[in-house]
Structure 1
Amino acid sequence: MAPRANWKGFLRLSLVTCPVALYPATSDTEKVSFNQINRKTGHRIKYAKVDADTGEEVAAEDIMKGYKVDTDTYIEVSKDELDDIALESTRTIEIDEFVPKTDIDNRYLIRPYYLVPDGKVGHDAFAVIRETIRSMNKVAIGRLVLTNREHIIALEPLDKGLMGTLLRYPYEVRSEKEYFEDIQDVKITRDMLDLARHIVEQKSGSFEPGQFEDRYESALIELINQKRNGLPIAKAAPKSSGNVINLMDALKRSLAGEKQSAPSAAKVTEKATDKAKGKKPRKAAAGQREMLLPISGSGKRATRQQPKQDTKKAEKPARAPLRSKKAG
């Protein structure tokens, strides 16, 4: 099933307008997730909103927001007051300016979205805007309203569509000076730099996300499958703290180790051939749905239902706990 659009509206460049839909470009739904359960009963843990002093549960209609100004002192703000100042969504992403992509500091990037034409009309206008941005070799900067807040969005062509990246405001980005001021100025010898460069050269390559494996995710899946099948769980070997050695010695050992683990010429040639033929790299690890073992006697995956004795490990994810506060 295709994901639901987070936002629908219009994209406008001067007098050129087209209907568009905004979709999230990333997802965490394939990751293994857990519920919190009662060790004694095996039941799910339920969270309730309670008064911090009395401990009594509070009804939803009696809860309002409060801004903390001092210990036990809050400025109460009602829903109506928030609605009065909420930005009215114009349902339009108005492109304000075009900037070089290199001008955008990576610290300002929040999350990516896909922007596509909404419906059967407006594809021509969408293509005009997309190709204009592409031909300028720049990023279009606009604004849109999501959940009553206005966000800055950077738009750039991606294949047949547009990728929009939400950007942070300056007040959300911390200055690096307060963190870097205590870093000592040290002199590095040329020999050390040469050794480090050789290590970098040995490790250099092109970025291919499919080669990376989420090793913790794989370990979680293996653990769950072992427990489902009643297999003994082996204890992890104690981690070595390592010996503190001379920096130059460490660089030399690192370089020697990289040379020994460097791929053979045949493997490099084979990889280049596959890439030239258009073969896609194999995924390092399948997702949760592919790797969890099916339940015996059915074609369903373990993400749906567990045997009775393992019910504690297969329930749907619980919502994040809501922490009680005196106001808000």
Structure 2
Amino acid sequence: MAPRANWKGFLRLSLVTCPVALYPATSESEKIAFNQLNRAAGHRIKYLKVDADSGDEVPNEDIVKGYQFEKDQFIEVTKEELEEIALESTRTIEIDEFVDRADIDPRYLIRPYYLRPDGKVGHDAFAVIRETIREMNKVAIGRVVLTSREHIIALEPLGKGLVGTLLRYPYEVRSEQEYYDEIQDVKVTKDMLDLARHIVNQKAGTFEPEKFEDRYETALIDLINQKRSGKPITPKERPAAGNVVDLMEALRRSVGGASAETKTSKKPAKKGKKAAVGQREMLMPIAGKKPAKEAKKPTARPQRKSA
């Protein structure tokens, strides 16, 4: 099934304009999701929109937006009034400026989107904008309206398209000082730094997302499969947490541990399960119990029913 665009409009750089579509670059639909159930009956819990005073259910057509300016005092705002203040960025991403990627504080990053030409026209203009950004090695900053809110968006080339990352406004980012003020000023000795650097060098590598497995998601799948196959659930022993008394000794022991890890990791790293296409397929597609022998086969990866 072709992906569905979250937004369609125009990308504009001065007088150069092209129709584009915006698609979410990430998805969490493959993750295990739970429903709330009535413990006694086993039925799903349904949420209703009710009047806070009368308790009566209110149909969607009778629900309006309101801003609470004092306790139980609201200013009603209609859909038409919101449309009246609609911004140009509702339909157009206007590139306002170009900045260095290093200038964007990572705290301002929200989520990525893919941007591509919409339809058969405008590919030439899109390519001009994309290659200009690539050639200048800059990030294009514009604005776009999603879910009725205007967002700052940072555009960068990615292959034949653009990746756009939504950015937060300054008022949405908390100051670090309210959290860091109580951190003590500690004198770190050269010996400690040398040992710590040695550990870092031994563990140095390249970031490969495929190596990482969502261990909690895998544990959820194992739990559900065990319950569906009728196996008893036994709690695992948790390792006891120990306090570090001698920091230098802990660093020395860590260096030894890192050396042992390096020797055993000369083989190619084991890649994590490919969650994007198969994580849910690991669930057992059964309506009752299966023999324990069959339930242990991890390679079957059959299609599952929704949990």
Whether TM exceeds 0.5 here: the answer is: yes
Q: Is the 8 A contact 2:66 2:75 kept in 1?
A: yes
User: Tell me, what secondary structure is at the counterpart of 2:207?
Assistant: coil
Runs of at least 5 residues in structure 1 that lack an aligned partner in the other structure:
272-280, 305-313, 315-328
Q: Is the 8 A contact 2:112 2:166 kept in 1?
A: yes
Give 1:282 deviation, angstroms: 4.1
Task: State the match for 1:186 in structure 2.
Answer: 186
Measured on the aligned residues, the alpha-carbon RMSD in Å equals: 2.3
User: Tell me, what secondary structure is at the counterpart of 1:38?
Assistant: coil
- Give the Cα separation in 2 of the matches to 1:148 and 1:74: 20
- Amino acid of the structure 2 residue aligned with 1:289: R
Task: State the match for 1:295 in structure 2.
Answer: 286
- Give the Cα separation in 2 of the matches to 1:143 and 1:19: 15
Q: Is the 8 A contact 1:8 1:21 kept in 2?
A: yes
Range 243-252 or range 189-198, more displaced: 243-252
> CA 1:265–1:184 in structure 2 vs 1: closer, same or farther (change >3 Å)?
closer
- Give the Cα separation in 2 of the matches to 1:73 and 1:169: 28
| Per-residue Cα deviation, 1:197-218 (whole angstroms, up to 9, x for no partner) | 1111111100000000100000
User: Tell me, what secondary structure is at the counterpart of 2:221?
Assistant: helix
> CA 1:163–1:300 in structure 2 vs 1: closer, same or farther (change >3 Å)?
same
Q: Is the 8 A contact 1:89 1:148 kept in 2?
A: no
- Give the Cα separation in 2 of the matches to 1:202 and 1:300: 40
Q: Map 1:199-210 to 2 at 5 A.
A: 199-210=199-210
TM-score (norm 2): 0.87
Q: Map 1:108-119 to 2 at 5 A.
A: 108-119=108-119
Give 1:40 deviation, angstroms: 0.8
Task: State the match for 1:28 in structure 2.
Answer: 28
- Give the Cα separation in 2 of the matches to 1:243 and 1:185: 20
User: Tell me, what secondary structure is at the counterpart of 1:262?
Assistant: helix
Task: State the match for 2:160 in structure 1.
Answer: 160
- Amino acid of the structure 2 residue aligned with 1:260: A
| Per-residue Cα deviation, 1:277-316 (whole angstroms, up to 9, x for no partner) | xxxx84435433331123379x973324xxxxxxxxx3xx
Give 1:81 deviation, angstroms: 3.2
- Give the Cα separation in 1 of the matches to 2:71 and 2:94: 43
Range 78-87 or range 133-142, more displaced: 78-87
Q: Percent identity?
A: 70
| Per-residue Cα deviation, 1:115-148 (whole angstroms, up to 9, x for no partner) | 1111122222111111110010100111122233
Give 1:241 deviation, angstroms: 2.3
Which of structures 1 and 2 has the larger relative contact order (alpha carbons within 8 angstroms, sep 6+)?
1
1:128 aligns with 2:117: no
TM-score (norm 1): 0.82
Task: State the match for 1:215 in structure 2.
Answer: 215
After the TM superposition, which segments of 4 or more aligned residues of structure 1 sit over 6 Å from their partners?
none
- Amino acid of the structure 1 residue aligned with 2:273: A
> CA 1:88–1:19 in structure 2 vs 1: closer, same or farther (change >3 Å)?
closer
- Give the Cα separation in 1 of the matches to 2:89 and 2:153: 15
- Amino acid of the structure 2 residue aligned with 1:240: A
Q: Tell me how many residue pairs correspond in the alignment.
A: 293
Q: Is the 8 A contact 2:199 2:254 kept in 1?
A: yes
- Amino acid of the structure 1 residue aligned with 2:283: L
